Chain A
Amino acid sequence: MAVDPSARVDPGSLEPRVAVPGKGRSRRAQVWRRFRRNKTALVGLTCVVLFVLAALFAPVLAPFTYNQNFFEAVLAPPGGEHLMGTDDLGRDIYSRVLHGARVSMQAAVMATVLAMVVSLPLGLVAGYYRGAIDSVIMRLVDALLAFPFIILAIALAAILGPSLMNVTIALGVGSVPSLIRIIRGEVLGLREEDYVDGAIASGATDVSVLSRHIVPNLMNTLLVQATVMIPGNIIGEATLSYLGLGVQLPRPSWGVMLNAAQQNLSSGPWMLVFPGAAICIATLAFNLFGDGVRDVLDPKTHR
């Protein structure tokens, strides 16, 4: 190897050679830099943003309302005035898919938030105080985990009655038990860390230990869990609505649209294609984004 000529002239210029990789950059910038390098995750993020925008601005973007019947154009194939065709009641599928994004997004995000809000305090208490209260919470969690997710959600939706809000509650509650387990496990681990011991020893109150030392360290886990739960809830909402246990007519959920599509598989396959593609793309986008987030936040896992 050739010797760097400048080194002979100015010894000071050699210092950067010894730089430790990654040192000196802020953590946030580093995380973003690593995420940016992951092309598929960027594609996912882009789709997620488009999906959110579609949900927010559905009434503006949609050429028609979701409820308008074009009786002269029932089951019209895609193209022309109706970009994605019309359904068996002559409604514009493109407009309904956009409004469906709103429903899907609302249910998926709200159910995830609900699950977090319920699980976080319970998981914290179980993991931090351990002992009897931990046993009680965990036995209840076990009991809820005794039901397969969809069966629990179906049963809850049946008990609560079909509506968008009840779907949200059913999906949210459905993922509470596993989320409590995850949070509790993390808290148990954090509880053993030296700095937590130190804080406790120096007389910090439980609330301040939890809020200053434990909750901030849970953020990565919660973020990763959210990226797993949102696509799951998108599918969950669509499934319950498809089964007739979710969003009620005339609001367009992708699941409801697919249910209608099944009655018209041969006469109007586009009724299946567009809402079906919307679910798949939305879920795929969140999964790609989630995989990217996991890679960045948890470099130990191979994805």
Chain B
Amino acid sequence: MTRYLLRRTLHALIALFLATVMVFIGIRALPGDPAIALAGEEALNPEMIEAIRQRYGLDQPPPVQYWRWIGQAVQGDFGRSIRTGLPVSALIVSRIPITIQLTMLSLLVAVTIGMPAGVISAVRRGKPADYLANGFGLAGLSIPNFVLGMALIITLTVDRNWFPSSGYTSFAVDPVDNLMRMVLPAITLGTSMSAIIMRQMRSSMLDALTADYVRTARSKGLSEWSVIGSHALRNSLITVTTVIGLQLAGLLSGAVITEQIFLIPGFGKLLLDSVFQRDYPVLQGVVVIAAVAYVSINLLVDITYSLLNPRIRVSGTGV
């Protein structure tokens, strides 16, 4: 068990190292000379550019540049934004809580819809409730985030004004307004995930319901409530939890688009803005932090999975 986790962590660290190398190479492959970009519009004489090149170490060979960059990054220094001059790390730190709030609310939407729908659909297999849940699952998978978001805006805000259509208010400033503004984005982001959870839950439950141990539970005279709610569900939850965890990381992707539609100044909006403004230091920092978050979440999911599954927890025979 410990060995497995150590190996898993080591692999995660190697993956992150290689990922940062890719980001480093990728950013340098972007069109345009970074020194000119860094210099900005006001200073375009060759001496200035050369000075910047030296100051940022851009005259050094790439491995040295990488080492310098990663050394600073580990200490939380991702440089400064070309556009605003603010430290990249401060920008990221200010945006992250907003995205976390959005993803958590979306997760809440996804789990409260997806899990019960999946269980009901499996237990009532072939009945109207199953068709309804399946229809919802397929629709949820097939409607892109931004189409759903716009459809919600057009039906619930433009004509009816039930919700504010876009923008963001800090929870600390006005909690009610904050939540009102988060409702539609959370539904937008949570719907496709609830569809995925529903489908996974249904499939795991169907597997569990035909398993020998469920037949054993029935042969013991246990109530259906306890057969389904305890014996079958507990086994299904192992896979479903894993899928939820992996989807949680995937929500990060969805947040980018959702924040763009609803103009929420979160982490994803920061990413897109940095792409459009060619603000490379910000882009670089955001992508690296996204990778760190993604890899960490996946690692945590793995650990949770092995804790949930006694076959792994107790004897340590890994997956």
Chain A interface (Cβ < 8 Å from any Cβ of B): 139-140, 142-151, 154-156, 158-159, 161, 231, 235, 238-239, 242-245, 258, 261-262, 265-266, 269, 272, 276, 279-280, 283-284, 287-288, 291, 301-303
Cβ distance A225 to chain B, nearest Cβ, rounded Å: 16
Kindly list chain B residues whose C-beta atoms are within 8 Å of the C-beta of A145.
15
For B129-143 the 0/1 string (1 means CB < 8 A from A) is: 000000000110111
Determine the residue in chain B with the shortest Cβ distance to A285.
Answer: B142
Kindly list chain A residues whose C-beta atoms are within 8 Å of the C-beta of B257.
150, 239, 242-243
Can you list 21 A-B pairs, Cβ within 8 angstroms, ordered by A? A139-B18, A143-B18, A147-B290, A148-B249, A148-B250, A148-B252, A148-B294, A238-B147, A244-B276, A265-B153, A265-B158, A266-B154, A266-B158, A276-B150, A283-B141, A283-B144, A284-B138, A284-B139, A284-B142, A301-B203, A303-B199
Determine the residue in chain A with the shortest Cβ distance to B284.
Answer: A155
Kindly list chain B residues whose C-beta atoms are within 8 Å of the C-beta of A279.
143-144, 147
B287 and A151 contacting across the interface, CB-CB below 8 Å: yes
Determine the residue in chain B with the shortest Cβ distance to A140.
Answer: B18
In Å, the complex CA distance between A303 and B118 comes to: 11
In Å, the complex CA distance between A156 and B275 comes to: 11
**Chain B interface, DSSP helix/strand/loop, else mixed:** helix
In the complex, besides A151-B287, A258-B147, A272-B150, 15 extra interface pairs with C-beta distance below 8 angstroms are A143-B15, A146-B19, A147-B19, A149-B250, A154-B275, A231-B141, A239-B144, A239-B146, A262-B150, A279-B144, A280-B139, A283-B141, A283-B143, A287-B142, A303-B203
A146 and B295 contacting across the interface, CB-CB below 8 Å: yes
Kindly list chain B residues whose C-beta atoms are within 8 Å of the C-beta of A269.
154
Chain B interface (Cβ < 8 Å from any Cβ of A): 11-12, 14-19, 21-23, 26, 29-31, 122, 138-139, 141-147, 150-151, 153-154, 158-159, 199, 202-203, 206-207, 249-250, 252-254, 256-257, 260-261, 271-272, 275-276, 283, 287, 290-291, 294-295
**Which of B22, B26, B147, B254 sits near A276, CB closer than 8 Å?**
B147
In Å, the complex CA distance between A159 and B138 comes to: 34
In Å, the complex CA distance between A271 and B66 comes to: 47
Cβ distance B86 to chain A, nearest Cβ, rounded Å: 21
Kindly list chain B residues whose C-beta atoms are within 8 Å of the C-beta of A154.
256, 271-272, 275
**Which of B23, B142, B154, B250 sits near A283, CB closer than 8 Å?**
B142
Cβ distance B301 to chain A, nearest Cβ, rounded Å: 13
In Å, the complex CA distance between A161 and B275 comes to: 11
A302 and B207 contacting across the interface, CB-CB below 8 Å: yes
In Å, the complex CA distance between A269 and B291 comes to: 37
A265 and B154 contacting across the interface, CB-CB below 8 Å: yes
In Å, the complex CA distance between A146 and B13 comes to: 10
Asked if A147 meets B206 with Cβ closer than 8 Å, knowing A139-B18, A265-B153, the reply is no
Cβ distance A77 to chain B, nearest Cβ, rounded Å: 15
A149 and B253 contacting across the interface, CB-CB below 8 Å: yes
